[in-house]
């Protein structure tokens, strides 16, 4: 009995003691030499290093700028919201400020981040010079009222804005004496030949990678620009024609019978095992991965990118995939709680200068890269990483692999793509007029955001659900008109109108 009692008392004290002891304990953080800047980012530091201060990039950044920086990683989603809610803001937050509800202007008005216009003009000579040279980007990274809100992530070359498209097994084309298909009719023929020769699902793709084929009908799955007007693809006639094509291919067994359920992993397995001979996907995680795995099973395996298909032979593809040079995913903003705005701005501006540019894109001279005939070539440290994954290897030295507030260098990307097929695919996929059709970074007022949020999700759900029904033959094309009507009744016109006003404001910047 006494023993039992002691046990209980012990437990109780553990609880109470635990509470009070650790109440005091939490406060001891931040002792020692205070870091001069704090920087929160959604990116992850490399798991090879227990402490980011050992990771070459972060070590070198602090050395070269001469500023001690305390980083906080993985600040994304819930963690980001909690950071904002906690009220203790770091000096710099690297996040997608553009997509925050109400747009970046609201974040400034709410007092979370500061208007960077003065800071960039005064203390960021490198970025300033770059923006003066590139007025299009300058316009894209501002708010409607002309304020800067972040140090942006910019792709330094148009080459970097294209990374997705249709692909096909070159060795099989050769085997059956076929040309690389260019028109939808040629594609159909190629797929038929594949089918006749026993390939289970000649064309396999996920719904999000179907772009290659609806592009032929001059639509996208989302909003796009057509002669300065904003349109919503899934209610256009081109979309109906695309659905009819896929419906036909699905019925004939040319399109994968698992079309609705294929995900990226299953897609990769279908391509690399040869169950599918044509696909849509990304240059990196589809093409690169499949070539490595496919070659292991079949020495002849050869996967190449095909041009975005067109309807009439000889036409130049109008639609395709294209990102903008400014990608808002990783804008580094300075918060309202930053004590030394000048220092923060200077540290961030470092990335846009000559030295910083090399560090962000190539790492440390003589260690991770060497200048050979004016070309920064990665050394063994990068290319001989133990399990051959160059992306993981690069991440230790080079943060522009992920999105980071800097200018991404095309020479980094060239060396990252390990197969010649990938480089060629990007060149081929770039041959479209998509640049004319991509919506620029327009921003909305809080009221507009509220209207969009109210209906946008319903429209997207309705569209994706019905897209699948039409393709799988669960819904007849007789119902096309009522489908369009429903989307209209959900308020698509209201959204398009909002987007057009926002576009007008954008053009007036």
Partner 1 sequence: MEKTNSYSVKYRLKKNKWAYIMLIPVVLYYFIFHYIPMFGIVIAFKDYTPFKGIIGSEWAGLKHFISFFNNMYFWRLIRNTVLISFYDLLFNFPAPVILALLFNEVRNRHFKRTVQTISYFPHFISLVVMCGMIRSFTLSEGIITNFLVSIAGIERESLLQNAKYFRAIYVLSSTWKEVGWNSIIYMAALSGINTELYESCEIDGGGKWRKAWHVTLPGIRNTIILLFILRTGALLSVGSEKIILLYNSSTYETADVISSFLYRKGLQEQNWSYGATVGLFNALINLIFIVLANTTSRKFSETSLW
Partner 2 sequence: MNTVIKKQHAAHGLRREGAGERVFNCFNYLFLTLLGVILLYPLYYVIAASFTDTNYLISSADKMLLYPHNATVEAYKVVLKYPLIWNGYKNTIFIAAVGVLVNMAMTIMGGYYISRKDLLFRNFIVKAVLLTMFFSGGLIPNYLLVKSLGLLNSPFALILPGAISTYNMIIMRSAFDAIPSELTDAVEIDGGNDVVLLWNILVPITIPTIMVLVLYYLVGHWNSWFPAMIYMSDKERWPLQLVLRKILIETSELSGEAGSDVQSIGEAVKYAVIVVSTIPVLAVYPLIQKHFVKGAMIGSLKG
Question: Of the candidates 192, 419, 496, 509, which one interacts with partner 2 according to CB under 8 A?
Answer: 419
Task: Please choose, out of 228-236, 289-297, 356-364, 456-464, the segment that lies near partner 2 by the rule CB under 8 A.
Answer: 289-297
Nearer to partner 1, 101 or 388 (CB): 101
Establish if 169 lies at the interface with partner 2 (CB under 8 A): no
Which residues lie below 8 Å from residue 213, measured CB to CB, with a gap of 6+?
166, 184, 187, 242, 245, 246, 280, 309
23 sits in which H/E element? helix 2-25
The three-point CA angle 386-387-388 to 5° equals 95
Nearest CA to 324 among 124, 69, 153, 115? 153
**355 Rama class: left (phi>0) / alpha (psi -120 to 50) / beta:** alpha
Residue 482's binding partner among partner 1, partner 2, none (Cβ under 5 to 8 angstroms by kind) is: none
Establish if 2 lies at the interface with partner 2 (CB under 8 A): no
Task: Please choose, out of 73-81, 129-137, 430-438, 465-473, the segment that lies near partner 2 by the rule CB under 8 A.
Answer: 73-81
Establish if 392 lies at the interface with partner 2 (CB under 8 A): yes
Establish if 273 lies at the interface with partner 2 (CB under 8 A): yes
Give the largest CA-CA distance in the chain.
94
- Whether the CB-CB separation of 52 and 73 falls below 8 Å is answered with yes
Using DSSP, how many helices (H) and how many strands (E) does the chain show? 22, 14
d(CA 430, CA 165): 9
Establish if 446 lies at the interface with partner 2 (CB under 8 A): no
Give the footprint of partner 2 on residues 81-120 (CB under 8 A). 81-82, 85-86
Which residues lie below 8 Å from residue 359, measured CB to CB, with a gap of 6+?
57, 60, 61, 64, 351
> In angstroms, what is the minimal distance from the CB of 222 to partner 1?
13
What are the residues facing 281 on neighbouring strands? 165
Question: Of the candidates 63, 68, 79, 485, which one interacts with partner 2 according to CB under 8 A?
Answer: 79
Residue 50's binding partner among partner 2, partner 1, none (Cβ under 5 to 8 angstroms by kind) is: partner 2
d(CA 452, CA 445): 11
Radius of gyration, alpha carbons of the chain: 26
Q: What are phi and psi of 461, to 5 degrees?
A: -60, -50
In the stretch 367-386, what mask flags binding to partner 2 with x, by CB under 8 A?
--------------------
Establish if 275 lies at the interface with partner 2 (CB under 8 A): yes
- Rounded to 10 degrees, what is the CA torsion of 359, 441, 432, 201? 90
Nearer to partner 1, 157 or 456 (CB): 456
Residues that bind partner 1 (CB under 8 A): 8, 12, 15-16, 77, 81-82, 84-85, 87, 101, 110-112, 200, 207, 257-261, 263, 265-266, 449, 453-454, 456-458, 460-461, 464-465, 467-469, 472, 474, 490
Give the footprint of partner 2 on residues 303-342 (CB under 8 A). 323, 329
Establish if 16 lies at the interface with partner 2 (CB under 8 A): no
> In angstroms, what is the minimal distance from the CB of 371 to partner 1?
43
Residue 456's binding partner among partner 2, partner 1, none (Cβ under 5 to 8 angstroms by kind) is: partner 1
Q: Per residue in 203-226, is it b (16+ CB within 10 Å) or e — as a string?
A: bbbbbebbbbbbbbbbbbbebbbe
Nearest CA to 352 among 124, 173, 158, 186? 124
In the stretch 20-39, what mask flags binding to partner 2 with x, by CB under 8 A?
--xxxxxx-x----------
Residue 453's binding partner among partner 2, partner 1, none (Cβ under 5 to 8 angstroms by kind) is: partner 1
Residue 244's binding partner among partner 2, partner 1, none (Cβ under 5 to 8 angstroms by kind) is: none
Task: Please choose, out of 121-129, 209-217, 376-384, 418-426, the segment that lies near partner 2 by the rule CB under 8 A.
Answer: 418-426
Question: Of the candidates 142, 211, 396, 416, which one interacts with partner 2 according to CB under 8 A?
Answer: 416
Residue 357's binding partner among partner 1, partner 2, none (Cβ under 5 to 8 angstroms by kind) is: none
Establish if 500 lies at the interface with partner 2 (CB under 8 A): no
For partner 2, how many residues bind (rule: CB under 8 A)? 73
Nearer to partner 2, 24 or 314 (CB): 24
Residue with the two structure tokens 């020479």: 411
Alpha helices in 329-389 (DSSP H): 341-349, 354-362, 380-383
Question: Of the candidates 49, 159, 223, 462, which one interacts with partner 2 according to CB under 8 A?
Answer: 49
Q: What are phi and psi of 205, to 5 degrees?
A: -160, 160
């Amino acid at each position: 009995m006494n023993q039992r009692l002691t046990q209980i008392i012990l437990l109780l004290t553990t609880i109470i003691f635990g509470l009070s002891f650790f109440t005091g304990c939490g406060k001891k953080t931040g002792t020692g030499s205070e870091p001069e800047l704090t920087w929160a980012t959604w990116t992850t530091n490399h798991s090879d290093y227990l402490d980011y201060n050992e990771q070459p990039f972060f070590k070198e950044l602090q050395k070269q700028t001469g500023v001690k920086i305390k980083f906080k990683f993985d600040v994304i989603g819930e963690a980001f919201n909690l950071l904002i809610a906690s009220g203790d803001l770091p000096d710099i937050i690297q996040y997608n400020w553009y997509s925050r509800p109400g747009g970046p202007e609201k974040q400034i008005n709410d007092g979370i981040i500061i208007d960077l216009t003065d800071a960039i003009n005064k203390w960021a000579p490198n970025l300033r010079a770059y923006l003066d040279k590139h007025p299009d980007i300058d316009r894209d990274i501002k708010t409607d009222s002309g304020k800067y809100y972040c140090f942006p992530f910019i792709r330094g070359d148009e080459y970097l804005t294209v990374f997705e498209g249709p692909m096909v097994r070159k060795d099989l084309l050769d085997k059956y004496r076929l040309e690389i298909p260019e028109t939808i009719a040629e594609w159909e023929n190629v797929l038929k030949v594949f089918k006749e020769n026993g390939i289970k699902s000649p064309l396999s793709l996920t719904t999000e990678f179907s772009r290659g084929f609806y592009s032929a009908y001059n639509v996208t799955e989302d909003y796009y620009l057509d002669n300065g007007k904003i349109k919503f693809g899934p209610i256009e006639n081109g979309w109906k024609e695309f659905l009819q094509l896929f419906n036909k291919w699905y019925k004939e067994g040319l399109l994968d019978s698992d079309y609705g359920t294929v995900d990226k992993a299953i897609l990769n397995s279908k391509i690399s095992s040869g169950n599918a001979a044509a696909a849509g996907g990304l240059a990196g995680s589809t093409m690169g991965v499949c070539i490595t795995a496919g070659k292991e099973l079949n020495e002849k395996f050869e996967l190449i990118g095909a041009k975005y298909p067109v309807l009439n032979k000889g036409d130049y593809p109008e639609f395709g995939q294209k990102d903008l040079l400014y990608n808002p995913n990783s804008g580094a903003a300075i918060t309202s709680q930053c004590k030394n705005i000048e220092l923060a701005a200077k540290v961030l501006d470092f990335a846009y200068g000559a030295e910083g540019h090399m560090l962000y894109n190539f790492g440390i001279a003589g260690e991770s890269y060497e200048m050979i005939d004016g070309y920064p070539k990665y050394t063994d440290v990068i290319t001989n990483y133990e399990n051959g994954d160059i992306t993981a290897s690069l991440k230790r030295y080079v943060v522009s692999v992920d999105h980071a507030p800097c200018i991404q260098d095309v020479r980094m990307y060239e060396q990252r793509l390990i197969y010649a097929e990938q480089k060629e695919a990007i060149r081929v996929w770039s041959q479209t007029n998509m640049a004319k059709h991509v919506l620029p970074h327009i921003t909305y007022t809080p009221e507009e955001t509220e209207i969009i949020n109210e209906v946008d999700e319903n429209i997207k759900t309705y569209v994706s659900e019905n897209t699948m029904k039409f393709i799988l033959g669960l819904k007849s094309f007789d119902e096309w008109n009522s489908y369009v009507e429903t989307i209209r009744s959900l308020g698509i016109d209201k959204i398009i109108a909002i987007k057009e006003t926002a576009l007008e404001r954008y053009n007036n910047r």
